[in-house]
Chains A and B, each alone.
Chain A
Amino acid sequence: MITGYALAAFYAPMDADQGFIQKIFYLHVPMAIVALCGFVFGGICAVMHLRTDDSKWDLRAYVAIHISIILGVGVLLTGAIWAKASWGHWWVWDEPTLVSFLIIFLLYATYTPLRFSIEDREKQARYASVFAITAGAFVPLNFIAVRSATSLVHPRTLSSTGNLPGDMALTFLVCTIGMIMLYVLLWQYEMAHKNTVAQLRSLKRKLAGDDGLRARRSAAPELQV
């Protein structure tokens, strides 16, 4: 990531149209791509959960969606800053790309409250998986629908016609790889934390019995260790 942003600052040429503001592109677009792919990955993990009934897949889906939501907040904030700088408005409601991303983000923002609202752990995991699969399938469909719509101001990033110059494309690629690596790192970090907590709860149960554990309601999946 550091290499990518060093390239963005010192190697990538200044955009002829937008000038220095275009440097936000190297942060905003990879973040959006990784966030959307993370949502789809969450959906794939949810499919695996329903197929295998293994709570580990539910946890993987939960963590994937959680990190994608965080990146989604970043996408919306950096996008708003970029919009203000280049269009003069923080948000443009007529633009399908912006509104569609907001819809996806708001859809996934209901994932955690949905989980929290269901007390029974098995039901919670199953319903959350169904939600993650449906919403995960919605992401590429939404992407296709938006691309087929006429864009007013937002440029098309992964377009076959609008090619980036070599220097910009290389920088963009490095930044995207960096963002993917960051996503994987955060996903593993949170997975390790959740697994450790599950192991600790199991150990506590063995040492102190069920009295040692406070019954608590949580949106996070409970791993059976």
Chain B
Amino acid sequence: MILASSALPDNAGYVAAAYLVFLALLLIYVGIMAFKLGRVERDVVELNQLADEERAEPARPAPAGEEATRV
């Protein structure tokens, strides 16, 4: 560590700061997108449940009046 710091020029901190700013921006962007992806995932789960419920619903019984007219 001491060797590395002595080998670096005096103003290396500025260069490191610039590259770290860029990295931080990228990470913030990816983090926000990951958060949004989590929301998409929740929506998919919700839709999956809705589809399951629709499939599990029994066929609707015909109204009584309709039954009488058929006879």
Contact = CB atoms under 8 A, between A and B. Distances in A.
Interface of A: 5, 19-21, 23-24, 27-28, 31, 70, 73-74, 77-78, 81-82, 84-85, 186, 189-190, 193, 196-197, 200, 203-204, 207-208, 212
A21 B11 CA distance: 7
Closest 8 CB pairs of A and B: A85-B14, A20-B9, A78-B18, A24-B18, A81-B18, A207-B50, A77-B21, A23-B15
Interface of B: 8-9, 11-12, 14-15, 17-19, 21-22, 25, 29, 33, 36-37, 40, 43-44, 46-47, 50-51, 54
Contacts of B17: 81
Contacts, number: 67
Contacts of B19: 5, 24, 27
A221 B12 CA distance: 43
Contacts of A200: 40, 43-44, 47
B37 A193 contact: yes
A190 B17 CA distance: 27
Interface of A is mostly: helix
A18 B46 CA distance: 57
Contacts of B33: 189-190, 193
Given A70-B25, A81-B21, A203-B47, A20 B12 contact: yes
23 contacts: A5-B19, A19-B9, A19-B11, A20-B9, A20-B11, A20-B12, A24-B15, A24-B18, A24-B19, A27-B18, A27-B22, A77-B21, A78-B18, A85-B11, A189-B33, A193-B33, A193-B36, A200-B40, A200-B43, A204-B43, A204-B47, A207-B51, A212-B50
